[in-house]
Each structure stands twice: as C-alpha cells, then as structure tokens.
Amino acid sequence: MKDYFDEAPAFSNEFFRRRFRMSKRLFLRIVNDLEANYDYFKQKPDARGALGFTGIQKCTSALRILAYGNTTDINDEYLKMAEKTTRDSLEHFCRGIIDVYGARYLRTPTWEDLQKIYEVHNAEHGLPGMIGSIDCMHWRWDNCPTAWRGQHTRGDQKGPTIILQAVASQDLWVWSAYFGVVGSCNDINVFEQSPLLEEWISGKAPKASFYANGNYYPHGYYLSDGIYPRYSIFVKTFSDHIDDKRAYFKKVQESSRKDIERCFGVLKQRWQYLRNPCRAWSKQKMRDAMYACIIMHNMILEDEGKAICQNYVPEAVQQEHPQASMEERVNNARELRYEPYHSQLMVDLVHHAWSVRYVPPEGDEETEDEEDEVGEGEESEDEN
C-alpha cells in the first residue's frame, strides 16, 4: 500500500502502469467491482479473528502472475501470500473478470460500431467494409496429460498446444475470441466449429452494408490468409499477381492483415503468462486466463482512449434475436459459401484500392529522377 496506493506513494504512476499493465484508475475500478460482486475479494477475519488479505492485495497477486508469467510462489516475500492463496486469487480473478466485464468488452460489434470501424479502416487501409483481420494463435500446454498429447500436438509446434482464434480491428481491439480447440487442428477446423461461423449461419451476426467500386454489398468481411476458404466474409490475397492492380492489392491486403498479428504480439508482451507455456492442469483454467487477458486488453485500450468505439451503449448489445428456422439457416449457409460473391468482392476491392492509391505529382517524380541521376553521376566521378 505504501508503494503504490498511499497519498504520497513510493512509486509514480509511470511505474504503476508498467508493473500493473494498466492505470491506477482502471485497477481500482476492477478492485471495487470485484469486491462488490464477490465475497472472496472482501477482507474478512479468519477462524483466529485475524484479518485476511484485502481485495487490492489479491488483485495485485493475480495481475503480477499474468503480467510477468511468474510461478505462484513468487508472492511469498513481497505480499506474504502463500502459494495456495495465490492460485486461488488467480482463478477467482480471471473468473470474476469474465463474469463482470465479458458482456461489454468481449461483445460483437453493433451496427454503430461497424460504421466507425468501416470509416477507420477505409481511411487507414483504403479498404471499405473491412470489419477486421482473423487468424489463430497457439498456446503451449506443458502439463497436458500424456493420453491427450497426440491430439494436442502438431508438427510445426514444439509440444502440445491449444488454439485461439481471434478477430481484431486496426486499433487492436479483439471483437471475437474462441479458445479451446486442440492443437492438431488447422485454421479451417477451428473456424468451422467456432461461434463466429454459427453467428453468420443463424443470422445473429451484425451486418452493415457498404459500397466497393460502385457495387452494393450487404455485409462486411474479414481479412484472412490463404488457408481460409473462399467464403463471402473472407478477403484473401493473390498467390500470383498478373498485373499492377493485383500486385498493389496484394501489398495492401497483406499489410492490413498484420493488425491481428500485432494484436497477438501485444497480448503476449503485455501478459507474459500467455507467452510462456501454461502450467495449469485444467483446460477450463487456461480458458479463463486467456479470456480474462483479452478482456483486460480491451479495457486498457478504452481506458487510454485508443479504441475506435469509445462510446458504449449497453442497450444495443441486449437485443434478442429470434431463433432462425431451418430454411433460414440453410439459406444463410448457402450465401456464406457462395464463391461468385467472394470473387466479385475481390475484383471490386482490387479496383477500389487501385483508384484510391496515392499517386505522387509529376513534379515530385521528376525531382526524384533528377536526384537519382545526380547521385549516379557523383558515384561515377568518385570511381574515376
């Protein structure tokens, strides 16, 4: 408490932000919400009448484990907290973050959110209708049971893993996360069993129309790599570019799709617990830790004003969607897997990206050519 929470703390807010991965304002908000919803985080006397740990101490213990990836006995010296209490604090903390903040910070985008996302992606990447980028990440599982190691191991990984599929926008906000698929699967297997596909087939996925190259499209799309199928919600790159337009679009698509790669890198750097192989014995504990880290990642973006969708309206998320009939599900699945839609969207995006590309004025090009000629002349004189 003297180090960080007194009126004149020993360490400044900059040190707090670096060691807790968030501002003191956000940390205290989390502590107060957890104390209000869970008795575990309230300070209570034990059987001897001595007061136990406060909510701040338990949340500090959990955050230190997630932020630095330390073992659970690391808090013996600093917080005087036993290893068992540290493990329990981490489990209750992750579960509490999901229950209290999951509906808000791990929600699907609303129609208003999609309009803001479209605007930012069109301005930053030159791609209209882009919702975000989709990809998968593996998390090593050290304590995987021997009987399960075969189905959790893949040739390109060093050991048993569990896969995370995520969708991130340009601001690195995670709009969709699905964790728990065995490591032997590829990206297609993960997507085919993810809730993201079910949302599109059941008609619950939010849709916002846009125009590309003058043509109307009823819903947005995700940027993906080459393994994903030719669905109407995916935009992939070209394996071979036959002209300048396709070559330029290939560069735009591949650079824009790095949003999800940057998001994975920030998650691992911010939460070292995800970078290191997991030592948990239960898949459920791994799942809670992964979702808790993603939710706090989004909370930090909002707290620091870096999120695209800062103004949150809770009523917009609580809309109830009627259950789709079997005929509607079949039609939605057919539209989702309609390859001509995917091909036409690719063509229109290629033309749109080429039409909005930056073309330097003629004077600038001539100046650059003259500078190159002067440089070549000086080099030849030096050689002589």
Find all residues with CB under 8 Å of 322, minimum gap 6, and list them: none
**Cα–Cα distance for residue pair 304/6, rounded to 1 Å:** 23
Task: Label residue 77 exposed, middle or buried (CB < 10 Å: 0-12, 13-18, 19+).
Answer: exposed
**Cα–Cα distance for residue pair 350/338, rounded to 1 Å:** 19
What residues does each domain of the chain span? 1-104, 107-314+324-356
User: In terms of pTM, does the model score above 0.75?
Assistant: yes
Q: What is the pLDDT of residue 372?
A: 53
Task: Label residue 368 exposed, middle or buried (CB < 10 Å: 0-12, 13-18, 19+).
Answer: exposed
Other C-beta atoms lying within 10 Å of the C-beta of residue 218: 12
Q: What is the pLDDT of residues 316-354, one digit of tens each?
A: 445 566 778 899 999 999 999 999 999 999 999 999 999
Q: Do 116 and 109 form a contact (C-beta atoms < 8 A)?
A: no
Mean pLDDT of 32-51: 89
**pLDDT band for position 284 (50/70/90)?**
very high
**Cα–Cα distance for residue pair 371/135, rounded to 1 Å:** 43
Q: Among 27-41, 241-255, 332-346, 356-370, whose mean pLDDT is lowest? A: 356-370
Computed over every residue of the chain, the mean pLDDT equals: 89
**pLDDT band for position 241 (50/70/90)?**
confident
Mean pLDDT of 210-224: 94
Other C-beta atoms lying within 10 Å of the C-beta of residue 38: 16
Q: What is the pLDDT of residues 151-179, one digit of tens each?
A: 999 988 989 999 999 999 999 999 999 99
DSSP tag of 181: E
Q: What is the pLDDT of residues 106-116, one digit of tens each?
A: 999 989 999 99
Q: What is the pLDDT of residues 56-108, one digit of tens each?
A: 999 999 999 999 998 888 888 888 888 999 999 999 999 999 999 999 999 99
Q: Do 370 and 235 form a contact (C-beta atoms < 8 A)?
A: no
Find all residues with CB under 8 Å of 38, minimum gap 6, and list them: 92, 96
Q: What is the pLDDT of residue 331?
A: 93
